Amino acid sequence: MFTGIIEAIGTIKAININAQGARLVIATNILDMSDVNLGDSIATNGICLTVVEYDQHSYSADVSNETLERTGFAHYSVGMQVNLEKAMLASTRFGGHMVSGHVDGVCNVLSITNNGNSIEYWLSMPSDLAHYIAEKGSITVDGTSLTVNALSADNTKFRLTIVPHTVKETIFAHYQVGTKVNLEVDLIARYLERLLTKEKSAHPVEPSSNVTASMLQKAGFIK
């Protein structure tokens, strides 16, 4: 689990393609690797990757063909910069929102416009994800926790307003019109939809619990 608060900007050192997908080597730059162990998770442009090798200045991770197909990794190249965040600790300050590191889709940067000291980005809205994206709701773009500031009238694009600090601490400064970015919609919205639309089992199973409302009332849990 992650918070969407980027800790460092890394650089892709190597991409080694194989039959199973690819192995990436990421230079971590200022990311503190002192508490990283094999098997730990590091969100790389919003994608939860498992560390298979590491040293003080870099780590390696395997990327499956599934991940290559469903994320922007297929368009990445050596030398490209990526957002990095280590998995959160129980003691971590929750500055962003709940981010799983499971990318839902890829979209394009449509326009970039200065607005005072901030920058406005309009991004395309994948049709299968549009119902998850709400004005003033949370969204993750390349691993960065952000707020959706506006939706287009035809529901095909959304706007982000990025403040100078975020531009400095993430790869937003490198975005251009046409740049492909990874999207993760709000985790709560995704599970809420599942709860509201789940199909009933063809063979319902009777509850096995012996707990009843009267028992809970006697125990003081309900009135």
Is 217 domain-assigned? no
Mean pLDDT of 58-80: 93
Is 148 domain-assigned? yes
pLDDT at residue 213 in the model: 63
80 and 118: one domain? no
Residue % of the chain over a pLDDT of 90: 72
- Please identify, among 51, 86, 121, the residue that sits at the C-terminal boundary of a domain: 86
149 and 67: one domain? no
171 and 121: one domain? yes
pLDDT at residue 120 in the model: 98
In tens, the pLDDT along 101-115 reads 899 999 999 999 999
Is 221 domain-assigned? no
Q: Is the pLDDT score of 198 beyond 90?
A: no
Of 95-104, 147-156, 160-169, give the lowest mean pLDDT range: 95-104
Is 137 domain-assigned? yes
The pTM (predicted TM-score) of the whole model is: 0.84
Is 167 domain-assigned? yes
At residue 202, what are phi and psi to the nearest 5 degrees? Answer: -65, -25
77 and 144: one domain? no
Q: DSSP letters along 2-49, please?
A: B-S---EEEEEEEEEEETTEEEEEEE-TT---TT--TT-EEEETTEEE
Strand partners, 42: 49, 86
110 and 65: one domain? no
Range of the domain at 39: 8-86
63 and 145: one domain? no
Structure-block tokens of residue 149: 């500031």
Higher pLDDT, 186 or 84: 84
Q: What separation in angstroms does the CA of 111 have from each of 7, 13, 23, 122, 176?
A: 26, 29, 32, 5, 8
- Please identify, among 23, 58, 86, the residue that sits at the C-terminal boundary of a domain: 86
Is 96 domain-assigned? no
Is 1 domain-assigned? no
Residue % of the chain over a pLDDT of 70: 88
111 and 191: one domain? yes
110 and 148: one domain? yes
112 and 79: one domain? no
- How many domains is the chain built from? 2
Is 218 domain-assigned? no
58 and 134: one domain? no
CATH number at residue 118: 2.40.30.20
Of 25-29, 40-44, 109-113, 127-131, give the lowest mean pLDDT range: 127-131
167 and 124: one domain? yes
Maximum CA pair distance of the chain? 65
